[in-house]
């Protein structure tokens, strides 16, 4: 190997990524593929009752897979609802059957709405939906996948939280509670699995631009819940960014690659924030 050649960061690793049909999930999947990881891409691939905007589709999930396969890695797609324990265990079983093991679990699946209400206005179904996907979904995935990591005495779990896991946001109590809970789950799990060399960390993106290449729409949905004009929402969100720009999907994907790889082998129980300084104020 010459001095100009580099070794792919995630070569010979297998990663499970939820919410992979579009947005940050797609961005992370492509970056993981570029770094040599074989992939299990998971998405509900359908709309979910109670979520007031379209979720990723089966076609989008397969398109993500095709973009990843272009980097000469093996890719398995699985349609699964992370609210359903049986579906989650099927994901783990299919991953093990195809690849033999899992080295990385990226819990990215999540929803931003139903939101836009004061705490007392949230009904039981809305609360249960938000917690069931954004918090309990990650817990279910960990229950299904982490035992394999414990057995092999290595692994990295990355829970995609948010700056909403660090601060409060008006009229987003369910989302804020779920993301704060996800960071708490991360810290507790990090201590549970540290003796087995399984690392658990949280990744907290700030306001991520809805890049059309990745077909993201999370920021637009947050704007809609806040009754912010969608045509102006990026300019409005930038005003609260100390670095005067929105976060790009590849910024978050790069942080995820670092947490997944061996360069972060002594990093566990931490919260890595990619928010342009928003939460430093």
pLDDT at 104 over 70: yes
pLDDT tens, residue by residue, 105-151? 999 999 999 999 999 999 999 999 999 999 999 999 999 999 999 99
Average the pLDDT over 75-102 and give the result.
98
The tokens describing 53, both together, are 């905007």
SS3 for 166?
coil
- Indicate which residue of 53, 63, 169, 175 is catalytic: 175
CA 201 – CA 268 distance, rounded (Å)? 5
Average pLDDT, the chain: 91
SS3 for 77?
strand
pLDDT at 272: 97
pLDDT at 153 over 90: yes
Tokens 């076609």 correspond to what residue? 59
CA 17 – CA 107 distance, rounded (Å)? 6
Contact 190, 260 (CB under 8 A): no
pLDDT at 280: 86
Nearest to 185 by CA among 252, 105, 280: 105
Average the pLDDT over 27-45 and give the result.
98
Name the band, by pLDDT with cuts 50, 70 and 90, for residue 206: confident
Indicate the DSSP class of residue 262.
G
pLDDT at 264 over 50: yes
* pTM for the whole structure: 0.91
Average the pLDDT over 151-167 and give the result.
97
Contact 161, 183 (CB under 8 A): yes
Q: Of 231 and 121, which is predicted with more confidence?
A: 121
pLDDT at 63: 97
pLDDT at 259 over 90: yes
SS3 for 234?
helix
pLDDT at 1: 42
Q: Of 224 and 177, which is predicted with more confidence?
A: 177
pLDDT at 236 over 60: no
The tokens describing 128, both together, are 């249960």
- Buried b or exposed e, range 58-75, using 16+ CB within 10 angstroms: eebbbbbbebbeebebeb
With pLDDT > 70 as the criterion, what percentage of the chain qualifies? 85
pLDDT tens, residue by residue, 59-83? 999 999 999 999 999 999 999 999 9
Nearest to 197 by CA among 92, 99, 103, 96: 103
pLDDT at 241: 77
Residue 175 falls in the annotated catalytic set: yes
């Amino acid at each position: 190997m010459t001095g100009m050649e580099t070794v792919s960061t995630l070569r010979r690793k297998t990663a499970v990524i939820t919410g992979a049909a579009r947005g940050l999930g797609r961005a992370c999947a492509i970056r993981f593929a570029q770094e040599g990881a074989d992939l299990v891409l998971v998405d509900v691939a359908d709309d979910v009752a109670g979520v007031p905007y379209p979720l990723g589709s089966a076609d989008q999930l397969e398109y993500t897979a095709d973009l990843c396969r272009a980097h000469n890695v093996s890719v398995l797609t699985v349609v699964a609802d992370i609210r359903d324990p049986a579906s989650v265990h099927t994901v783990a079983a299919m991953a093990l059957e195809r690849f033999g093991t899992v080295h990385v679990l990226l819990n990215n699946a999540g929803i931003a709405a139903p939101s836009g209400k004061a705490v007392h206005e949230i009904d039981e179904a809305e609360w249960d939906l938000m917690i069931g996907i954004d918090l309990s979904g990650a817990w279910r995935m960990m229950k299904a996948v982490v035992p394999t990591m414990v057995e092999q005495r290595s692994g990295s779990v990355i829970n995609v939280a948010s700056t909403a896991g660090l601060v409060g946001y008006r009229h987003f109590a369910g989302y804020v509670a779920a993301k704060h809970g996800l960071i708490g789950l991360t810290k507790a799990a990090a201590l549970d699995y540290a003796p087995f060399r399984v690392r658990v960390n949280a990744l907290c993106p700030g306001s991520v631009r809805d890049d059309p290449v990745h077909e993201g729409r999370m920021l637009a949905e947050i704007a809609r819940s806040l009754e912010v004009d969608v045509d102006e929402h990026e300019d409005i969100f930038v005003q609260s960014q100390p670095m005067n720009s929105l976060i790009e999907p590849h910024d978050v994907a790069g942080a995820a690659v670092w947490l997944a790889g061996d360069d972060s082998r002594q990093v566990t129980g931490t919260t890595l924030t990619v928010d342009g300084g928003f939460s430093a104020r």
